[in-house]
Amino acid sequence: MNRRGRLIGTLVAVFAALLLQVTVLPLFAWDVGGLGVVPDLVLLVVVATALATDTRFATLTGFWAGLLLDIAPPADHLAGRWALALMVVGYVVGRLVHDNAGDVGAGSRFAREGVRRPPLPLALAAAAGGSFVGTSVFALSGLLLRDAGASIGELLPVALVALLLDVVAALAVVPATLWLLDRSTSDGLPRPAVRPAQRLRVRL
């Protein structure tokens, strides 16, 4: 198990997602009530991490990625809000995916391969759920701490549009993150030609 490679891969993915999210995507933002809503790439990276690795690692990734999102410019909200939100996302997605993996059946793909290479519908469902949970936790923490000026009525359409955009962006971000984790955890050994997923599972 290449823990250092996994850590480096996750760091690269989180940084790249952060940079893309604040520099490139605003050019294509969807305007909702004067706010440009962009896909939450960092959140999707956390979701992908939760899909590909274990819950503990996903929770920690969510915490640190959220903390980075909290203090890296142009963030101006209270520090810790995204950290809490993404930590919850990592934990919830990780728990749901991993705990239910065995319930599908002994001969199923999950049982054979674990959840290291999740099927696309599962990834999209995880992205949608993670987006909803993360945006909700972030918005609710803002309401509780009176950090955000918006009301629930204004937050809801933004959260729904963000959910939609996240699901679309997940089509690209989740496979990219899985590929990056796959590459960063490989140890240079020749890959089995038949079952690459199996090898990935074993190493993680």
| Binding positions for other proteins, rule: CB under 8 A | 1, 18-20, 22-24, 27, 53-57, 59-60, 63, 66-68, 70-73, 75, 78-81, 83-84, 87, 91, 94-95, 98-103, 106-107, 111-112, 114, 141, 145, 147, 189, 192, 194-195, 198-199, 201-203
Q: In 53-72, which positions are buried (b, 16+ CB within 10 angstroms) versus exposed (e)?
A: bebebbbbbbbbbbbbbbee
Query: What minimum distance in Å lies between the beta carbon of 169 and other proteins?
Result: 16
Query: What minimum distance in Å lies between the beta carbon of 160 and other proteins?
Result: 25
Query: What minimum distance in Å lies between the beta carbon of 54 and other proteins?
Result: 2
Nearer to other proteins, 27 or 34 (CB): 27
To 5 degrees, how large is the angle CA 124–CA 25–CA 92? 35
Query: What minimum distance in Å lies between the beta carbon of 24 and other proteins?
Result: 5
CA 125 to chain centre: 12
Q: What is the DSSP string of the chain?
A: --HHHHHHHHHHHHHHHHHIIIIIGGGGPEEETTEEE---HHHHHHHHHHHHS-HHHHHHHHHHHHHHHHHSTT--S-TTHHHHHHHHHHHHHHHHHHHSGGGG-TTSHHHHHTTSS--HHHHHHHHHHHHHHHHHHHHHHHHHTT-----HHHHHHHHHHHHHHHHHHHHHHHHHHHHHHHHHH--SPPPPSS-HHHHHHHH-
Query: What minimum distance in Å lies between the beta carbon of 139 and other proteins?
Result: 14
Query: What minimum distance in Å lies between the beta carbon of 155 and other proteins?
Result: 18
